[in-house]
């Protein structure tokens, strides 16, 4: 279906012109006439429009569909009804779709079709009537459900009654449960949608009269309805049936009561229910497993439950069944610590150990952390890394000795990093600063970073001075660390040291120094001088970083340096400078920018065009005009867009 029913026309067509155009051999003319008929609500065009459903042009059929929907009315319904008999399935489907929307304009004509000799027409009619909320429709459909000789019609009637959801049809649906299975399914689905007490009673009564397959469907429907009234019968079915029906009953009870209310069952019932849930963990269906795990999360305190869940963990694919894996872990957390959970730590299955580690790492209280610490030294490197990160998040002051021990004795980078962050960031143990500082000299970048984070988190003056003392160290990475710390703590206080670092022989130190000055100092003449000085640095990364600072802290003293950057040896520096000049609309640089065009690479030219568009003005527009005829299509397109941007902005100013 299209949405262009308001297709513009040069002038309004008369009724006669529309009817003549609809008879044209030109599909475009016919489409335009159909849209115009829709716009005018022209009922006299309906017979011609409906006849056009026989067209071989989908474009015409779509336009006709739009027109008939918009004009609608009794005549439209009566004219469309015969199209239901069209041999073309696509045309039939379109006519049904239209009638679902407009059939309420002539309900009686649709009702008459329920008694048609052709069962297919009766199916179509009962389908369409399901979209009409009308008492007479309900009555007719109920009669059809009871008396129509064709099973497929009765099936469709039941589905339509489910769409209407009128409690008056419950009795007819009750009778349909004695019909053929195909109809039974639809009737059960309809009762589930109606969801009232009477529906529940009917479904419960039917449990002893239908086949096992239909029992399964009814139980699923009762779970969807969610009435507590059905729980006693469902509990009976746990012992009466096994296999799929028992699984369905389990799921339905958990859905109805909710996991937390399962504890309200009697002791014997609860024990049996738990056993059935354990058995259900052998199922493969992921949805079933998710529901059963929800039930076990509140009643599965027996270690046998933990064991069964861990066995489930062995069978899943952790790379695909991520949601199920998380549900397993969350369920085990709810159950809590027991010997089966601890036994999982020595499993030869990597996923089982991971489940045990993540479960214990998330348990409330000390038990989980004690298990992790108890098994830590025997773990594989991967398990250690996973455990230490969980411990670092969830531990408290009682775990400090454990972390100190591993800070002093571990050789594994991730363990050392977790210990540093726990002791420094979380616990802020200033007394351990000497132990942390020694890791600043680590060759491992992750350990170095974690040590710096931990030391700075202490907010200790002596520690800061020890870090900044590395400004004269032979190692460039340590000098860079000292410079970073100066900027992080107080760039104004350390300004002289930062200025000195601007002459460091290592470019990364100089870059860190200008960033500390640029982002750590308020605007001042001294700061401007340092930024201007940095723009002359031999390293392009230093210059590029400096332009980035200028983009956020622009002032008139910096403009000459940005202009100089337009002739930089590095194109990225040029483009960043152009970006800043455009952002602040520095119109005095337009001539210089224009002079760059002939000798620039395509990427720089595109940035020049973008900059000229931002600055605007006569000179910029003339330069862009010259680029529209460029032999490079990308340059042409960019110049055209830029010119449109300038003219649009001028138009907005005039308004």
CATH of the domain at 591: 1.25.10
At residue 324, the 3 state secondary structure works out as helix
Query: For residue range 106-156, what is the model confidence (pLDDT) as tens digits?
Result: 999 999 999 999 999 999 999 999 998 777 899 999 999 999 999 999 999
Q: Are 543 and 565 in contact (CB under 8 A)?
A: yes
> What 3-state class would DSSP assign to 402?
helix
Question: Which residue is associated with the tokens 């474009």?
Answer: 59
CA dist 318 and 577 (Å) reads: 49
Q: What is the DSSP string of 29-72?
A: HHHHHHHHHHHHT-GGGHHHHHHGGG-S-HHHHHHHHHHHHHH-
Give the mean pLDDT of the chain: 91
pLDDT range class, residue 299, cuts 50, 70, 90: confident
DSSP letters, 304-317, are HHHHHHHHHHHHS-
611 within some domain: yes
> In angstroms, how far apart are the furthest CA atoms of the chain?
100
Query: What pLDDT shows up at residue 136?
Result: 84
What pLDDT shows up at residue 546? 96
276 belongs to a structural domain: no
Mean pLDDT check: name the lowest of 107-121, 261-275, 279-293.
261-275
**pLDDT tens per residue, range 196-234:** 888 999 999 999 889 999 999 999 999 999 899 999 999
Q: What pLDDT is stored for residue 477 in this prediction?
A: 95
CA separation for the pair 327, 429 (Å, rounded) = 37
Flag the least confident range among 59-68, 254-263, 643-652: 643-652
Res 539: pLDDT: 96
Residue 2: the pLDDT is 41
Q: What is the DSSP string of 600-637?
A: --HHHHHHHHHHHHHH-SHHHHHHHHHHTT-S-HHHHH
* Structural domain count, the chain: 1
Task: Say if 26 falls within a structural domain.
Answer: no
How many whole angstroms separate alpha carbon 490 and alpha carbon 260?
A: 54
The CA-to-CA distance between both ends of the chain, in Å, stands at 39
CA 451/CA 446 separation, integer angstroms:
9
Residue 9 has pLDDT above 80, yes or no: no
Residue 607 pLDDT more than 70?
yes
Q: Which of 76-85, 308-317, 589-598, 623-632 bottoms out in mean pLDDT, i.e. has the lowest?
A: 623-632
The two three-digit tokens of residue 629, written as one number: 């005829």
What distance in Å separates the CA atoms of residue 618 and residue 621, rounded to the nearest whole number? Answer: 5
> What are the residues whose beta carbons fall under 8 Å from the beta carbon of 320, sequence distance 6 or more?
none
Indicate the pLDDT class of residue 654, thresholds 50, 70 and 90.
Answer: low
> CA 38, CA 63: separation in Å to the nearest integer?
9
From residue 412, give the alpha-carbon distance in Å to each of 388, 403, 417, 439. Answer: 11, 13, 9, 13
- With a cut of 70, say whether residue 11 has pLDDT above it: no
Nearest to 583 by CA among 607, 619, 557, 567: 607
For 314-369, the pLDDT digits (tens) are 999 999 999 999 999 999 999 999 999 999 999 999 999 999 999 999 998 888 99
Residue 496 lies in a domain: no
What confidence score (pLDDT) does residue 655 get? 52
Q: Is the pLDDT of residue 3 over 80?
A: no
Give CA–CA dist 290/214, Å, rounded: 24
pTM tops 0.85, yes or no: no
Domain assignment present for 183: no
Q: Which long-range contacts (CB under 8 A, 24 or more apart) does 211-214 make?
A: 211/181, 212/241, 212/245, 213/181, 214/177, 214/181, 214/184, 214/185, 214/188
| 266: its two tokens | 């009697």
Q: What is the pLDDT of residue 8?
A: 43
C-beta of residue 276 within 8 angstroms of C-beta of residue 296: no
Residue at 273 is within a domain = no
Domain, as residue range, for 632: 585-655
Residue 10 in this model has a pLDDT that exceeds 80: no
Q: Please check whether residue 616 lies inside any domain of the structure.
A: yes
| pLDDT tens track for 567-602 | 999 999 999 999 999 999 999 999 999 999 999 999
Rounded distance between C-alpha atoms, residue 123 and residue 120, angstroms: 5
- pLDDT number for residue 5: 43
Residue in 210, 168, 242 with CA at minimum distance from that of residue 188: 210
Amino acid 7: pLDDT? 43
Residue 630 lies in a domain: yes
């Amino acid at each position: 279906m299209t949405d262009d029913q308001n297709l513009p026309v040069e002038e309004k067509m008369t009724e006669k012109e529309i009817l003549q155009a609809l008879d044209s051999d030109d599909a475009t003319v016919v489409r335009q006439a159909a849209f115009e008929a829709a716009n005018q609500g022209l009922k006299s065009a309906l017979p011609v429009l409906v006849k056009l459903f026989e067209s071989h042009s989908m474009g015409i059929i779509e336009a006709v569909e739009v027109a008939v929907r918009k004009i609608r009315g009794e005549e439209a319904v009566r004219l469309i009804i015969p199209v239901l008999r069209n041999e073309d399935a696509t045309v039939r489907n379109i006519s049904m779709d239209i009638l679902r929307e407009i059939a309420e304009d002539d309900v009686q004509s649709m009702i008459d079709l329920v008694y048609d000799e052709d069962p297919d027409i009766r199916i179509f009619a009962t389908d369409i009537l399901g979209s009409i909320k009308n008492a007479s429709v309900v009555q007719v459909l109920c009669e059809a459900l009871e008396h129509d000789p064709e099973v497929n019609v009765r099936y469709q009637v039941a589905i339509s009654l489910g769409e209407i959801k009128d409690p008056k049809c419950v009795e007819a649906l009750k009778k349909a449960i004695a019909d053929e299975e195909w109809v039974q399914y639809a009737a059960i689905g309809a009762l589930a949608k109606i969801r009232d007490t009477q529906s529940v009673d009917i479904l419960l009564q039917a449990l002893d009269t239908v086949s096992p397959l239909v029992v399964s469907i009814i139980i699923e429907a009762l779970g969807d309805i969610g009435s507590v009234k059905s729980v006693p019968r469902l509990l009976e079915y746990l012992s009466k049936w096994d296999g799929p029906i028992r699984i369905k009953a389990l799921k339905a009870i958990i859905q109805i009561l909710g996991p937390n209310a399962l504890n309200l069952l009697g002791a014997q019932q609860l024990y049996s229910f738990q056993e059935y849930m354990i058995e259900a963990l052998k199922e493969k269906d992921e949805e079933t497993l998710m529901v059963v795990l929800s039930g076990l999360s509140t009643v599965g305190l027996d270690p046998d439950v933990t064991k069964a869940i861990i066995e489930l963990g062995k069978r899943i694919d952790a790379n695909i069944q991520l949601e199920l894996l998380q549900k397993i872990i969350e369920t085990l957390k709810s159950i809590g610590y027991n010997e089966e959970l601890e036994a999982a730590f020595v499993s030869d299955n990597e996923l089982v150990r991971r489940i045990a580690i993540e479960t214990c790492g998330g348990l409330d209280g000390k038990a989980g952390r004690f298990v992790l610490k108890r098994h830590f030294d025997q773990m594989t490197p991967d398990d250690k890394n996973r455990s230490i990160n969980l411990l670092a998040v969830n531990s408290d002051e009682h775990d400090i000795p454990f972390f100190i021990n591993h800070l002093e004795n571990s050789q594994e980078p991730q363990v050392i990093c977790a210990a540093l962050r726990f002791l420094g960031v979380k616990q802020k143990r200033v007394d351990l600063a000497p132990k942390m500082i020694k890791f600043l000299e680590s060759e491992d970048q992750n350990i170095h970073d974690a040590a710096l984070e931990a030391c700075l988190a202490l907010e200790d003056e002596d520690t800061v001075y020890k870090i900044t003392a590395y400004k004269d160290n032979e190692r460039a990475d340590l000098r860079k660390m000292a410079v970073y710390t100066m900027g992080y703590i107080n760039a104004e206080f350390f300004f002289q040291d930062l200025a000195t670092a601007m002459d460091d022989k290592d470019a990364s130190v100089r870059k860190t120094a200008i960033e500390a000055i640029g982002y750590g100092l308020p605007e001042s003449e001294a700061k401007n001088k340092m930024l201007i000085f940095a723009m002359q640095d031999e390293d392009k990364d230093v210059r590029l970083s400096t332009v980035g600072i200028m983009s956020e802290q622009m002032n008139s003293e910096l403009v000459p340096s940005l202009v100089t950057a337009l002739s930089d040896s590095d194109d990225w520096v040029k483009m960043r400078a152009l970006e800043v000049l455009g952002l602040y609309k520095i119109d005095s640089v337009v001539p210089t920018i224009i002079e760059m065009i002939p000798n620039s690479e395509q990427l720089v030219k595109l940035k020049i065009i973008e900059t000229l568009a931002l600055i605007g003005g006569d000179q910029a527009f003339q330069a862009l005009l010259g680029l529209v005829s460029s032999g490079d299509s990308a340059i042409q397109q960019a110049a055209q867009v830029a010119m449109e941007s300038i003219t649009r902005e001028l138009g907005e100013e005039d308004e």
